Amino acid sequence: MTPPFADPDDVVRRLDEVDYLADEGTATALFLATALGRPLLLEGEPGVGKTAAAQALSGALGSPLIRLQCYEGLSAGEALYEWNYQRQVLAVRLAEARHETPHQADLFTEEFLHERPILRCVRHRGPRPPVLLVDEIDRADDEFEALLLEFLGEASVTIPELGTFRAETPPLVVLTSNRSRELHDALKRRCLYHWIDYPSPERAAAIVRRSVPGGSDPLISDATTLVGRLRRLDLDKAPGLAEAIDWVAALTALGVTELTAAAALRTLSTVAKTPDDRDAVQGVLAEVGTA
């Protein structure tokens, strides 16, 4: 298969066309993942653009995005496949009504199979492979990681009753993690890895400007600089890029074009997400315009 990107600069250019401003490191990681056909594990603090990177990759390539949102207790039936038990029971009853004895092999066929995101990726047929986003893998249980190993290593899923399904064209897989727990080495070995750091104020301003086109330049510049300053506080939830975008969007919606203490405090809830953080952030925002 021809690599979808010519080089990392091509990644930057094409992701820019879908409003994702990739830095050199992220663009190189995405280029290598697509060129080598390897899953990519993106880690970083919440709100730095990990999920958006996968979404932008899908948009840039014109590939369908299939998302698997992870959470504690996520099962194989929700991620890989499961059997339609209600239809199986109905089939048994119909057979009994006809005085027939249903065989187990008759009940575990394609007719009774429910595809979930990973099996859907493996069996996808189309001109372009899908992008599979396995979002926040660190929220799933340890055991769930083991379920992914065959798929990540071989782009295949084995269903005991039906055999092994292997993707004709391996999907492009992006896993994200906020590092709420350490992932297993076996999973990491199957993936390329990239850490997305907070953007510089200048780059953050460029990203926010793209996301909130109605925001004034002075407002965006001051807000992104101040968000960078807030991250240096000892907060429960440091504001990320997503909070910066929300903040500028909220200020712009209120008709604010220049950041003032009154406007900043009025929109405090977009950047402070706990009572303790609210107190700490409030003190900084009250100083806006006094320097």
**What are the tens digits of pLDDT across the range 186-215?**
999 999 999 999 988 889 999 999 999 999
Structure tokens at 32: 């290598």
pLDDT in tens, 233-257: 999 989 988 899 999 999 999 999 9
The DSSP secondary-structure symbol of 141 reads -
pLDDT at 201: 85
Do residues 197 and 48 make contact, with C-beta atoms less than 8 angstroms apart? yes
Q: pLDDT-derived band of residue 287, with 50, 70 and 90 as boundaries?
A: confident
pLDDT tens column, 130-178: 999 999 999 999 889 988 999 999 999 999 989 999 999 899 999 999 9
Residue 165 structure tokens: 């399904």
Q: pLDDT tier at 288 (50, 70, 90 boundaries)? A: confident
pLDDT in tens, 80-91: 999 998 988 898
pLDDT at 291 over 60: no
Query: Is pLDDT of 118 > 80?
Result: yes
Phi, psi of 254 (to 5 degrees): -85, 5
Mean pLDDT value of segment 11-18: 97
In this prediction, residues 225-239 reach a mean pLDDT of 91
Residue 1 has a pLDDT of 65
pLDDT digits 0-9 by tens, 17-63: 999 999 999 999 999 999 999 999 999 988 889 999 999 999 999 99
Cα separation of 174 and 188, whole Å?
12
SS3 of residue 232 by DSSP? coil
- Which residue pairs, CB below 8 angstroms and at least 24 apart, start in 15-22? 15/53, 15/56, 15/57, 15/60, 17/60, 18/56, 18/59, 18/60, 19/56, 19/210, 19/211, 20/49, 20/52, 20/53, 20/55, 20/56, 20/59, 20/60, 21/203, 21/206, 21/207, 21/210, 22/53, 22/56
For residue 255, with 0-12 CB atoms within 10 Å meaning exposed, 13-18 middle and 19 or more buried, which class applies?
exposed
Checking DSSP bridges between strand 163-166 and strand 156-159, what pairing results, if any?
Answer: antiparallel
Q: Which pLDDT value is given to residue 200? A: 87
Beta-sheet pairing, 156-159 with 81-83: unpaired
* Mean of per-residue pLDDT scores for the chain: 92
User: Could you tell me the CA-to-CA distances from 290 to 6, 269, 284, 287 in Å, in that order?
Assistant: 49, 21, 11, 5
Q: Is the pLDDT of residue 101 over 90?
A: no
Residue 4: HSE in the Cβ half-sphere, 13 Å Cα cutoff: 28
Helix-then-strand count for the chain, H and E: 14, 9
Tell me: pLDDT of 103 over 90: no
